[in-house]
Structure 1
Amino acid sequence: MTVLLVEDDASIALVITAALEAEGFEVTHCDTIAQRDRLLAERRFAALVTDVMLPDGDGIDSLGDVHDRHGDMPIVILSAQNTLDTAVRATDTGAFEYFPKPFDIDELARTVRQAVGSASAAPLDGEEPIGSGLPLVGRSAAMQSVYRMITRVLRNDLTVLVLGESGTGKELVAEAIHQLGHRRAGPFIAVNTAAIPAELIESELFGHEKGAFTGAVARHLGKFEQAAGGTLFLDEIGDMPMQAQTRLLRALQSGSVRRVGGRDEVRVDARIIAATNKDLQPMIAAGQFREDLYYRLNVVPIAMPPLRERSDDVPALARHFLHLATTEGLPRRYLTDRAAILLGQQPWRGNVRELKNFIYRLALLAREEAIDIDAVAPLLPEDGDGPASGEDGESFDLETAVRRWLTSERPAAGTIHETALLAFEKPLFALVLQETGGNQVRAAQALGINRNTLRKRLGELGLDPEQFVRRP
């Protein structure tokens, strides 16, 4: 069996050829679209492995005729243009697989072997081309797995669970799946389950009948019915009350809902995408989240990487947000390379959301059209993610900090461990309470300790959680 390889980089072609030959294939190599078409006209090939950017055109755009004439030949696409747009275009052609560069050469060889032996490599007929309007930005390796997972769920209705820290763009993943999938003509309904009072969440999700409770003056369609034919996005699913979790599980299992105060089952037709910034496994162990609901939602997990793990994307994101800022009435600005490098070195604890807010503030306050390092530096937070600094400005790490603490405090022998724990716990608990707005339940979950233990330790440390409550 012979594989046709279209790749204009000779060194990459050599490595791919060796890997495919190790799998038992013969390889015919060419480096242009014209040569590819001539070879395909002359003979049959078991599979086509092609790059996207070729000397005489776009390897994806030119695949239409290939599919028409060789519909049973599986195609594997390679690309250094590592964007969601490229991944979607590759998948939309009916390609068996898409590999963003750099890729695992052994995985590529195994995939070609699978493609040749698969009867599902033929393209899908009757589908409209997927358009643009892509909400995600980034070409880092961390985002490539996200793009590949998104492309795998576009032509089916499998339930997706998007995982990731707050501010990483979980809702954007849901929007991308909706916009690019076969339900894009239907509505996209987003629900923040953490923002709905516990006593109202069932009515919001499943609807209610007139007179179901005080104030129910008319029938109300819930989010499940509103999302009919489209996508229902359940954000912050980890904060859903247990009673609502039971009702949600029943709706997912039966494919129908019953309005509050109603008797009839109403069939629903909506794709379900859920998201959470919490680790649900410890919550399951603590009895705070239903295990059966977790497995019902976690059919296809997609993990959004934090921005600190995709720092290469920061410049592109920053320039994207500068463009968005102009559409919202802010002055037109552009970012210099030095400023982009500086932004990429920041920790961005608030992830993409924090970066966006920073860029908007920068666009508003910058005095020059060109935003250079001198405009960026004064707006950066002083408490960076790097090593701590002493009063003399000297940087030091945690080990140095402990050594200095021992020198300055000189705790009595036999009390060092207890005294050190007290000294460490107080600022630690204060910082966690500050991040949770004084919410002891969330603080205990973040710390991984029992709420009663937290309350006891706060009393011993003299910390009042009320002082951390965010007031309007």
Structure 2
Amino acid sequence: MAADKPHLLLVDDDDDLLRLLSMRLTANGYRVTAVGSADAALARLSIELPALVISDVRLPDRDGMVLFQQIRSQYPALPVILLTAHGTIPDAVEATTLGAYAYLTKPFDAKVLLERIGQALALTAPATARSDGDDDWRAEIISRSQAMAELLAEARLVAASDASVLIRGESGTGKELLARAIHRASRRASRPFIAVNCGAIPENLLESELFGHVKGAYTGAVTSREGLVQAADGGTLFLDEIGDMPLLLQVKLLRVLQERVVRQLGSDAGRPVDVRVLSATHRDLDAAMLEGQFREDLYYRLNVITLTLPPLAQRREDIGLLATRFLQMLAAKYQKTVNGFAPDALEALTRSAWPGNVRQLYNVVEHVCALATAPLVPLSLVQRALRVPTLEVLSYTEAKQRFERNYLVQLLKLTDGNVSDAARLAERNRTEFYRLLSKYDLTASQFRGDGGAVADERQD
């Protein structure tokens, strides 16, 4: 349908150029409205907002730069591409510093124009409308990328069953949001959703938090208390960072999942519970099993179905959408008049690495929103926020693994790759030392002669 095609507004007083551009853009799948003056353009904008404006810098009734500034003032998130003759290039260059997406010099290559239009729309287009008409279950998950569309389609199917789901993904990718979405799409949606971060609760408190305790079960237990498993009865229990759960508690959790009965700490009596278990981890549980840090029987009980969240760098189509939505939320929070990002600022966001994924993107947007002094966030402010070092808070396990790897690298550098010497310095036998090297994908040959090429700064 025509209404589904991206709508472009062309503004130029050259009738022949308007006709030619309209034909070419229509042939490439766009819906085009062509007008010959700035006043006509403003009138059209008040009737229907297009996805993008293409305007000449010189117009008969009003300077094209004045039109551009009015568009930028009234519709700060609307991308504008300027067309200019050689004599007006300085004006066009100035316009790009003020937020124009691009400018093209006449005569211009139609292929280049199509590329610029595609790039601008990719950065600013809203989420693709979905046909099922019922997206409340995934309302918190902002995306339009194919990778996320495939994952969410699978999650919707999984939600219909009571099968345990293990959600994998890097820190900051939104594993709890996906778990909540699965709960909302399930038959348990009206019942509780209880989230437990197994890595954030001290080991000596985790058992009581999960299973509850009776009065006098331990020093300080002055009253009986139900645990989070009982609180989730009839609903969904989400165990975040399950890989950080101590082995002793893994045994008790397995028993609860097998028997569907929970016993409070200090009690011999059990209580039946009906919970669906979703769990999440950024750790490699297969490696943890081999190292004896995670029980194999619990792993297979939890990992009936696996869903893997892609890192933000693999769903770049979502970055502009996420950044714009976060900006709207944060502008309301800070009561600031910030309406959008300048096109080059949005492009800088989409090209960044994002090792901290969606969580890091949110922090950057919060930074720029707090400091913004104009309705449109400029490139300079985004660049400043991206250069701010992000405090990286590691779990104990992550910090230990990072230390171990760097320690091994330093030993092998010191001994030029001699495993016997390195093992002796570490006070470990050769077999154990080789096992540690294998754990971190290190080989002694990398450190011999000219081969000392492994960088100890490599993360994760």
Q: Does the aligned pair in 2 maintain the 1:85–1:132 contact within 8 Å?
A: no
1:364-393 deviation per Cα after TM superposition (whole angstroms, max 9, x unaligned)? 101111113233222222799xxxxxxxxx
Task: Select the residue among 290, 294, 306 that pairs with 1:289.
Answer: 294
Q: What's 2:383 paired with?
A: 377
Q: Does the aligned pair in 2 maintain the 1:257–1:267 contact within 8 Å?
A: yes
Q: Does the aligned pair in 2 maintain the 1:332–1:363 contact within 8 Å?
A: no
Q: What's 2:352 paired with?
A: 346
Superposed displacement of residue 148, structure 1? 1.2
Q: Which has the larger radius of gyration?
A: 2
State the secondary structure of the residue aligned to 2:277: strand
Measured in 2, the distance between the counterparts of 1:276 and 1:294 equals 12
Corresponding letter in the other structure for 2:380: D
Using the size of structure 1 for normalisation, the TM-score is: 0.57
Q: What's 2:221 paired with?
A: 216
Measured in 1, the distance between the counterparts of 2:376 and 2:214 equals 58
Q: What's 1:442 paired with?
A: 398
Q: What's 1:86 paired with?
A: 130
State the secondary structure of the residue aligned to 1:200: helix
Superposed displacement of residue 248, structure 1? 0.8
State the secondary structure of the residue aligned to 2:130: helix
Task: Select the residue among 228, 234, 237 that pairs with 1:229.
Answer: 234
Structure 1 residue ranges, 4+ long, deviating more than 6 angstroms after superposition: 81-85, 454-462
Q: Does the aligned pair in 2 maintain the 1:323–1:332 contact within 8 Å?
A: no
- Aligned pair count reads 296
Corresponding letter in the other structure for 2:200: A
Structure 2 vs 1, CA of residues 383 and 241 (structure 1 numbering), >3 Å: closer, same or farther?
Answer: closer
Gaps of 5+ in 2: 5-124, 416-421, 426-460
Corresponding letter in the other structure for 2:366: Y
**1:140-155 maps to which residues of 2 (within 5 A)?**
140-155=145-160
Structure 2 vs 1, CA of residues 457 and 197 (structure 1 numbering), >3 Å: closer, same or farther?
Answer: farther
Task: Select the residue among 356, 362, 373 that pairs with 1:356.
Answer: 362
Measured in 2, the distance between the counterparts of 1:234 and 1:376 equals 35
Corresponding letter in the other structure for 1:380: L
Task: Select the residue among 238, 259, 266 that pairs with 1:261.
Answer: 266
1:324 aligns with 2:368: no
Q: What's 1:365 paired with?
A: 371
1:316-351 deviation per Cα after TM superposition (whole angstroms, max 9, x unaligned)? 000110121134234132123322111000001110
Q: What's 2:342 paired with?
A: 336
Measured in 2, the distance between the counterparts of 1:458 and 1:442 equals 23
Q: Which moved more, 1:306-315 or 1:177-186?
A: 177-186
Structure with greater contact order relative to length (CA < 8 Å, sep ≥ 6): 2
Superposed displacement of residue 436, structure 1? 6.7
Task: Select the residue among 255, 259, 270 that pairs with 1:250.
Answer: 255
Q: Does the aligned pair in 1 maintain the 2:137–2:182 contact within 8 Å?
A: no
Corresponding letter in the other structure for 2:353: P
Superposed displacement of residue 133, structure 1? 6.4
Superposed displacement of residue 254, structure 1? 1.1
Identity %: 40
State the secondary structure of the residue aligned to 2:321: helix
Q: Does the aligned pair in 2 maintain the 1:82–1:144 contact within 8 Å?
A: no
**1:120-131 maps to which residues of 2 (within 5 A)?**
131=136
Measured in 1, the distance between the counterparts of 2:264 and 2:409 equals 40
Measured in 1, the distance between the counterparts of 2:318 and 2:336 equals 23
Q: Does the aligned pair in 2 maintain the 1:444–1:454 contact within 8 Å?
A: no
Measured in 2, the distance between the counterparts of 1:210 and 1:455 equals 52
1:279 aligns with 2:284: yes
State the secondary structure of the residue aligned to 2:239: strand
Task: Select the residue among 174, 182, 203 that pairs with 2:179.
Answer: 174
Q: Does the aligned pair in 2 maintain the 1:233–1:272 contact within 8 Å?
A: yes
Structure 2 vs 1, CA of residues 174 and 133 (structure 1 numbering), >3 Å: closer, same or farther?
Answer: closer
Measured in 1, the distance between the counterparts of 2:343 and 2:237 equals 40
Structure 2 vs 1, CA of residues 374 and 436 (structure 1 numbering), >3 Å: closer, same or farther?
Answer: closer
State the secondary structure of the residue aligned to 2:297: helix
Corresponding letter in the other structure for 1:158: A
Corresponding letter in the other structure for 1:445: Q
